[in-house]
Chain A
């Protein structure tokens, strides 16, 4: 099995005004006098390039290895193959909850996310997995919080591409 892994992206702030990044729902909320959407500034920040793994202090590497080694990840992988065999759609996502992760793991700080998948018939059949969500680390002290204070946004996009594997169970899916 060949695995090529790209891990979490952190993007830098560069924006001209928050309204530019609001969607219709957020504009409506603001027009009603509600609080400004919390993710508005995240969207604003998500315009620039992400820093390197070195800039994040190696957090990306740590998160990647923690995720790939976790029982949770293996469980989701098996479950996904089973569902593909039963005929589920080739593209979709599984909800992942990290609450059973160790308290000191980064996954525990993340809380949860969507493990997105895309199965391609090939040949050879391939299954592409990607874990992505947008999180808030505004509380002081957390390593990612300090990066966020500098204008980087933690988007936690762990991309796991699993290529050129036989995937026999999935191959039986319609």
Chain B
């Protein structure tokens, strides 16, 4: 009986601390981990040509230092027919105005993989862009 009383007294002494620990644990569980949001990703095409996905909707093409090779959001990409040393990229040019303009059209550029140099290509009927893979397939 004496032993039981001692146990009860001991329990009562520690109960407030246990309560605090439980509250802290519950608070910790509800804490939001910021790292789960908008995780960025990258995919190397070559050492000097890299695709970056910085959010769910934006993908860009840069050199090894992170400098953009085309000024826009990359939508489609693929190698030039039978030539693995040139890359074709269809992208939506970035809009620099604060106003939201109408839907942007896709522009196509040809990237030399060895140098990273980009040259604009005419694609009025959109056939080149359509022949390329969507950029999602690279991630």
Which A residues have a C-beta under 8 Å from some C-beta of B? Answer: 9, 11, 21, 23-25, 28-29, 37-39, 42, 46-47, 79, 83, 88, 91-99, 103-106, 108-114, 116, 118, 130, 132-137, 139, 141-142
19 contacts between A and B (CB under 8 A): A39-B57, A46-B100, A92-B68, A93-B71, A94-B62, A94-B68, A95-B54, A109-B37, A109-B38, A111-B54, A111-B55, A112-B38, A112-B40, A113-B55, A130-B96, A136-B55, A136-B56, A137-B37, A139-B37
Closest 9 CB pairs of A and B: A39-B57, A112-B54, A112-B40, A95-B66, A111-B38, A111-B40, A109-B34, A93-B68, A109-B37
Interchain CA distance A94-B129 in the complex, whole Å: 25
Q: How far is the CB of A99 from chain B (nearest CB, A)?
A: 7
Chain B residues whose CB sits within 8 angstroms of the CB of A139 once the complex forms: 32, 36-37
Q: Is chain B's interface secondary structure helix, strand, loop, or mixed overall?
A: loop
- Chain B, range 30-50, C-beta contacts under 8 Å to A: 30, 32, 34-40
For B57, give its contact among A83, A97, A134 (CB under 8 Å): A134
Chain A residues whose CB sits within 8 angstroms of the CB of B38 once the complex forms: 109-112, 135-137
Verify B103–A21 contact, CB threshold 8 A: yes
For A103, give its contact among B35, B54, B56, B66 (CB under 8 Å): B35
Is residue B58 within 8 Å, beta carbon to beta carbon, of the partner chain? yes
Verify B75–A142 contact, CB threshold 8 A: no
Verify A96–B55 contact, CB threshold 8 A: no
For A88, give its contact among B52, B56, B57, B67 (CB under 8 Å): B67
